[in-house]
Amino acid sequence: MTDGTIVERASAKVNLSLHVTGVRPDGYHLLDSLVMFTSLGDEIHVAPAGTLSLTIEGPFADDLRVDDDNLVLRAARSFGVPDGAAITLHKNLPVASGIGGGSADAAATLRALARLWDVPLPNAKTILSLGADVPVCMTTELTKMSGIGNELERLGPAPMLDIVLVNPKIGVSTASVFNELESKSNTPMPADMPDPFDTDNWVGWIAHQRNDLQPPALTAAPVIADVLAALSAQQGCTLARMSGSGATCFALFEDSDAQSDAAKALRVSHPEWWVAETDEAPT
Ligand SMILES: C[C@](O)(CO)[C@H](O)COP(=O)(O)OP(=O)(O)OC[C@H]1O[C@@H](n2ccc(N)nc2=O)[C@H](O)[C@@H]1O
Ligand SMILES: Nc1ncnc2c1ncn2[C@@H]1O[C@H](COP(=O)(O)OP(=O)(O)OP(=O)(O)O)[C@@H](O)[C@H]1O
Atom 26 of ligand 1: nearest residue by CA position: 148
Q: Give the pLDDT of residue 35.
A: 98
143 in ligand 1 pocket by Cβ < 6 Å?
Answer: no
How many whole angstroms separate alpha carbon 114 and alpha carbon 228? Answer: 40
Atom 26 of ligand 2: nearest residue by CA position: 100
Strand pairing report for 52-57 and 85-90: parallel
How many whole angstroms separate alpha carbon 14 and alpha carbon 20? Answer: 16
Q: Give the pLDDT of residue 65.
A: 92
Please give the full DSSP string across the chain, using - where no structure is assigned: -TTS-EEEEEEEEEEEEEEEEEE-TTSPEEEEEEEEEEEEEEEEEEE--SSEEEEEESTTGGG---STT-HHHHHHHTT-S---EEEEEE--SPSSSSS-HHHHHHHHHHHHHHHHHT-PPPPHHHHHHT-TTTTGGGS-S-EEEEETTTEEEE--SPPP-EEEEEE-S----HHHHHHH-S-S------S----TTSHHHHHHHHHTS-BTTHHHHHHH-THHHHHHHHHHTSTTEEEEEE-TTSS-EEEEESSHHHHHHHHHHHHHH-TTSEEEEE-BPP-
Q: What strands lie across the sheet with 274-278, from one edge to the other?
A: 237-242, 249-253, 162-167, 274-278
CA of 244 to the centre of ligand 1 (A): 9
DSSP lists the bridge partners of residue 211 as: 18
For the question of residue 133 being annotated catalytic, the response is yes
CATH class of 6-153: alpha beta
Scanning the chain, the segments in alpha helix (DSSP H) are 71-77, 101-117, 124-129, 174-180, 199-207, 214-220, 223-232, 256-269
- Which residues are annotated as part of the binding site for ATP? 94-104
- Out of 2.60.120.10, 3.30.70.890, 3.40.109.10, 3.10.20.810, select the CATH number for domain 158-278: 3.30.70.890
Q: What is the pLDDT of residues 63-101, one digit of tens each?
A: 999 999 999 999 999 999 778 999 999 999 999 999 999
Catalytic entry in 32, 42, 133, 162: 133
How many whole angstroms separate alpha carbon 67 and alpha carbon 91? Answer: 15
**Nearest ligand to the C-alpha atom of residue 26:** 1
Listed as ranges, residues in the chain with pLDDT below 70 are 1-2
Is 0.95 surpassed by the pTM of this model?
yes
- Give the domain ranges of the chain: 6-153, 158-278
Q: What is the pLDDT of residues 260-270, one digit of tens each?
A: 999 999 999 99
Scanning 43-131, the segments in alpha helix (DSSP H) are 71-77, 101-117, 124-129
37 in ligand 1 pocket by Cβ < 6 Å?
Answer: no
Query: Is the Cβ–Cβ distance between 4 and 47 less than 8 Å?
Result: yes
Query: Is the Cβ–Cβ distance between 163 and 250 less than 8 Å?
Result: yes
131 in ligand 1 pocket by Cβ < 6 Å?
Answer: yes
CA of 108 to the centre of ligand 1 (A): 19
Q: Before 281, cis peptide (omega within 30)?
A: no
For the question of residue 13 being annotated catalytic, the response is yes
Q: Give the pLDDT of residue 83.
A: 86
Q: Which atom of ligand 1 is nearest to the CA of 27?
A: 29
CA of 99 to the centre of ligand 2 (A): 9
How many whole angstroms separate alpha carbon 227 and alpha carbon 250? Answer: 9
**Nearest ligand to the C-alpha atom of residue 29:** 1
**Nearest ligand to the C-alpha atom of residue 74:** 2
How many whole angstroms separate alpha carbon 172 and alpha carbon 217? Answer: 8
CA of 7 to the centre of ligand 2 (A): 20
Q: Residues near ligand 2 with C-beta < 6 Å?
A: 64, 69-72, 89, 95-103, 105, 133, 174, 244-245
Q: Give the pLDDT of residue 227.
A: 98
CA of 174 to the centre of ligand 1 (A): 6
Q: How far apart are the first and last CA of the chain?
A: 21
